[in-house]
Amino acid sequence: MKHLKHTFLVGILTILGLAANAQFNIHGTITGADGKMIYLFDDEDNYADDSVFIKNNQFNFTIKKPNKERVYALILGENQYPMLLIPGSDPALTFTATEAEFPIAQSLTTNEQTQAMQTYQKLFRPLVNRALNLNIEAARIDSADESGKEAFREKARVFSQDVASTGKAFIKQHPKAIASVWMLLNELRNRLEPDDFMATFYSLDKSVQDSRYGQMAKNYIAQLQGNALNVTAPDFTQDDVKGKPVKLSQFRGKYVLVDFWASWCGPCRQENPNVVKAYEKYKNKNFTILGVSLDQDKNRWIGAIRQDGLNWTQVSDLQGWNNEVARQYGINSIPANFLVSPDGKIIARNLRGAQLEKALESLIK
CATH number of the domain that residue 94 is part of: 2.60.40
Question: 293: part of which helix (H) or strand (E)?
Answer: strand 287-293
pLDDT at residue 363, as a whole number: 87
* Residue where a domain terminates, one of 171, 194, 227: 227
Q: Of all residues in the chain, what percent carry a pLDDT higher than 70?
A: 93
* Residue where a domain terminates, one of 227, 250, 269: 227
| Phi then psi dihedrals of residue 56, to 5 deg | 55, 35
Is the same domain home to 173 and 140?
yes
| Phi then psi dihedrals of residue 197, to 5 deg | -60, -50
For 262-278, write each residue's pLDDT tens digit. 998 888 888 899 999 99
Cα 74 to Cα 26: distance, rounded to the nearest angstrom: 10
Distances (CA, A) of 231 to 72, 288, 349: 34, 20, 12
pLDDT at residue 308, as a whole number: 92
Single-letter residue type at 340: V
Check: CB of residue 25 under 8 Å from CB of residue 11.
no
For 243-263, write each residue's pLDDT tens digit. 999 999 999 999 999 999 999
Is the same domain home to 266 and 356?
yes
State the average pLDDT over residues 88-100.
Answer: 91
Reported pTM: 0.62
DSSP per residue, 305-353: HHHHT--SEEE--S-GGG-HHHHHTT--SSSEEEEE-TTSEEEEE---T
* Residue where a domain terminates, one of 194, 227, 260: 227
Q: Is residue 294 part of a domain?
A: yes
pLDDT at residue 3, as a whole number: 43
Give 240's strand partners: 315
Check: CB of residue 75 under 8 Å from CB of residue 59.
no
Distances (CA, A) of 41 to 47, 87, 117, 173, 338: 7, 13, 16, 28, 42
Split into its structural domains, the chain has a count of 3
Q: Is residue 223 part of a domain?
A: yes
Cα 251 to Cα 232: distance, rounded to the nearest angstrom: 14
Cα 89 to Cα 52: distance, rounded to the nearest angstrom: 25
Tally the residues of the chain. 365
pLDDT at residue 236, as a whole number: 94
